[in-house]
Amino acid sequence: MPMNFGTSCEPSEEGLRLKKKHQRQKERKPLPERVDAFDRVVQLCGIRDRSSKELFDRLTADGYAQASIEEALQRAVDCGLVDDMRFLDSFVRGKVSAGKGLYGLMKDLEKHGLNPSGLEDWPDSYGLDDQSQINRALEYLIAHPPKAKDAYAAAYRKLISRGYSVSLASKACRLWADNQTGEA
């Protein structure tokens, strides 16, 4: 008896969407024919501030020649459009205000090829000392309490996923759990 795996031979909606996307990508002209490297840097920096490494990687992926990338990046640095220290300061402040821990922040900085040691009063002026991080972690847990049977473990996982170190996450979870039992 033949096996019937379904009556429809039509592709799924997801399959059609992916096929159309692939066709659009094939129809596009390569970027270097449309804009030169410096114009592309201006476009990318018009969206948000970017590091020179991020721009280099993006232009390389877009297919620009290495010489034109280096020339465009040097021109952007010379005119003040690209400034790694400005980007670094803004990036760190944004991540800290979003509740990111020092461990996670350092991983993000590695991806951008940035070293925060050039920042003035690093890391204390950014609120990344242990006590400030514990306070931020507690504020996060109070604002977003875990909804699991084992609340302590869920809180710990939340903080680890936000980039807090193991020791800071466990201290903050202990303080949070003590606060929870005190309220009950």
Q: Which residue segment(s) compose the domain that 69 sits in?
A: 30-82
d(CA 148, CA 139): 19
Q: Is residue 16 part of a domain?
A: no
Residue 105 contacts residue 95 (beta carbons within 8 Å): yes
Same domain, 67 and 139: no
Q: Look up the pTM and report it.
A: 0.67
The answer as to whether 11 is a domain residue is no
Q: 91 and 76 in one domain?
A: no
Q: What pLDDT is stored for residue 80 in this prediction? A: 92
Looking at the fold, whether 99 and 68 belong to one and the same domain comes out as no
**How far is 119 from 102, CA to CA, in rounded Å?**
15
Instruction: Kindly list the averaged pLDDT for each block of 10 residues, start to end, along the chain of length 184.
Output: 51 69 59 72 90 91 90 92 89 86 87 82 81 90 89 92 91 89 65
CATH number of domain containing 64: 1.10.10
**What does the pLDDT read at residue 6?**
47
> What is the end-to-end Cα distance of the chain in Å, rounded?
64
User: Within a domain: residue 17?
Assistant: no
Residue-level pLDDT at 134: 92
Domain identity same for 179 and 134: yes
